[in-house]
Amino acid sequence: MIRDLAALAVANGAVIAAGHGVLRVGGIRPAAGDLAWTLGAAYVAGAAGVGVLGSLLLVFGLPLLWWQLLLLCATVAALGLLRRGGLRTPARVVTVGWERVLPAAILVVLSVLAIDLAVQPLWGDDAWSIWGVKAVAIVALDGLDPAFLSSASVLSADYPLVVPVLELVALRFSGLPSELVVLQLGLVFCAFPCALVAFLRDRSRPLVLWTVVLAIALAPTLQIQVASAVADVTLAVFFGLAGVAGWQWIERGEGGLLWLTGVFGAAAVGTKAEGAVFVAFLLGALAVAAARRGRSPAGVGVVAAAVAATAAPWVLWSRAHELGNAVSEAGGFGSTDLTAAAERLPRAAAALAWEVVDPTSWLALAAIAVAAVVVGLRHHAGRGAAAYTLFVSVACLTVLLAVYWATPLDFDYHVATSVRRVVTVPVVFAASMAPLLLGPSAGAEGVAVDR
């Protein structure tokens, strides 16, 4: 176990280095010792980059051996070093007084969760039947094996590859079978609060930011889902950061933020099937917001094309090998008589609404997100961000409602086994935007630019 943990630390050090490359390509050079940026944001950016590029390399025939993963991370890190000028060092907003208890509490909560993840077996049914089986098969068969993936061994074999790639990091570095797959996948969530602080702290009130981040770290449903090694939290992390970076691009116009929107958006698309639809709505909303501010939405179009280009190889490969999923094997969405199934709509809407507000799942998080949207809509300065948050969140929920309406699976079973997980994306997205909606920063030091 200790040897495996040490190997995993090396691997994740490489992921952080790759993340620094991703950030640097976007023009961000974190200050040394700035933990939120150097560890949190860099880790999630590295996981997104490795996940997306690793998926492409798998499709192109590489088995992603441990040294190939290291080489991939080193290459991304080196790409960042190619950018020399125009780098900005993010502002450091100092937390003072009793507020300092909050980041300490967040670190304690996340550390306890990380220990739990380290001892957690891969036991959740989606974790082994959809994601783990793919990662293990890639190791056992030295890459993607169409004969295996098209067999009955894999549930929803056409689901994208970012999660199996992240799990591969554990399997390649600590061997098969690995007890650390759950920890490896969960590190994305453990880094998320730090990443959110890094992205928002110079644009939000520190106390508001710490309050939201503490609520994220404590939310029982997020802790439980992370320990179950399902993909919804990973999707929510990437999508939430794509949304936050995207809106910051609208407000600040820095191209690097649009780059990060693309990186996190591509990772969200590569994590789960519904991620593609969510990201399409997100980018659509950003394009409209840009146009309303007199800015060309062409940049968003370029990002959308790039995101689609990262997803296309796997889609084509899985189609070429006739891979399916639980929905397609049950006849697909087109097989449902939508008129006859209309009675599902109120039931699905009620189930979604309850899961969004359920305090035993979210504690105060969902309430903070809703209140932030309301406050944002009431104030002129925050109205744009609030409308964006509301639109994207409602669009995600509408997509989920449409899925339940048209599902060819047994409706009650489908809702019962998934609704608690799938609302994670809109709630985490809205919560991530909350610090921006609850007022501008007081006392931010601005940004230092190195030319």
Partner 1 sequence: MDGPPAARMRPGTVCCSMLNLPSQPGTTGFLLLGLGAAAGLALLVFGRAHVRGRLAPDAGHSLTSIVTVGLAVSVASAPFTTWRVLEDIRRTAPITAEHARYVGAETKLIDGELVERIAALVPADQTYHVAVDPRAYVEIRESLALWMGYALVPRRQARAPESADWIVTWGATPSRLGLRAREPRLVGRNRLADDEPVYLARASP
**Site for partner 1 (CB under 8 A): how many residues?**
72
Site for partner 1 in 355-374 (CB under 8 A): 363-364, 367-368, 371-372
Site for partner 1 in 216-235 (CB under 8 A): 218, 220, 223-224, 227-228
Which long-range contacts link 120-126 to residues 24+ away (Cβ below 8 Å)? 120/182, 120/183, 120/227, 120/229, 121/179, 121/182, 122/181, 122/182, 122/229, 123/228, 124/228, 124/229, 124/230, 126/228, 126/230, 126/231
With contacts defined by CB under 8 A, name the span among 13-21, 151-159, 308-316, 335-343 that binds partner 1: 151-159
Q: Which amino acid, 212?
A: V
Q: How many CB atoms lie within 10 A of CB 85?
A: 8
Q: How many angstroms separate the Cα of 206 from the Cα of each of 90, 211, 448?
A: 15, 8, 19
d(CA 320, CA 235): 26
With contacts defined by CB under 8 A, name the span among 21-29, 280-288, 301-309, 405-413 that binds partner 1: 405-413
Looking up tokens 């002129």, which residue turns up?
Answer: 380
Does 124 help bind partner 1 (rule: CB under 8 A)? Answer: yes
Does 185 help bind partner 1 (rule: CB under 8 A)? Answer: no
Nearer to partner 1, 264 or 405 (CB): 405
d(CA 422, CA 417): 10
Contacting residue, 136, 195, 307, 352, with partner 1 by CB under 8 A:
136
Does residue 58 contact residue 172 with C-beta atoms inside 8 Å? no
Does 171 help bind partner 1 (rule: CB under 8 A)? Answer: no
In angstroms, give the least distance from the CB of 256 to partner 1. 27
With contacts defined by CB under 8 A, name the span among 73-81, 112-120, 186-194, 346-354 that binds partner 1: 112-120
Q: How is residue 353 annotated by DSSP?
A: H
- 3-state helix vs strand vs coil in the chain, percent to 5: 75, 0, 25
In angstroms, give the least distance from the CB of 286 to partner 1. 26
In angstroms, give the least distance from the CB of 209 to partner 1. 10
Site for partner 1 in 277-336 (CB under 8 A): 326, 329-330
Nearer to partner 1, 39 or 368 (CB): 368
Q: How is residue 94 annotated by DSSP?
A: P
Q: How many angstroms separate the Cα of 208 from the Cα of each of 166, 191, 198?
A: 32, 19, 14
Helix (H) or strand (E) holding 348: helix 344-357
In angstroms, give the least distance from the CB of 95 to partner 1. 10
Does 128 help bind partner 1 (rule: CB under 8 A)? Answer: yes
Contacting residue, 38, 120, 184, 310, with partner 1 by CB under 8 A:
120
Helix 383-406, helix 273-292: angle, nearest 10: 150
With contacts defined by CB under 8 A, name the span among 41-49, 344-352, 394-402, 434-442 that binds partner 1: 434-442
In angstroms, give the least distance from the CB of 249 to partner 1. 24
Site for partner 1 in 4-63 (CB under 8 A): none
With contacts defined by CB under 8 A, name the span among 232-240, 274-282, 336-344, 412-420 that binds partner 1: 412-420
DSSP string, 17-52: HHHHHHHHHTTB-PPTT-HIIIIIIHHHHHHHHHHH
Does 154 help bind partner 1 (rule: CB under 8 A)? Answer: yes
Does 94 help bind partner 1 (rule: CB under 8 A)? Answer: no
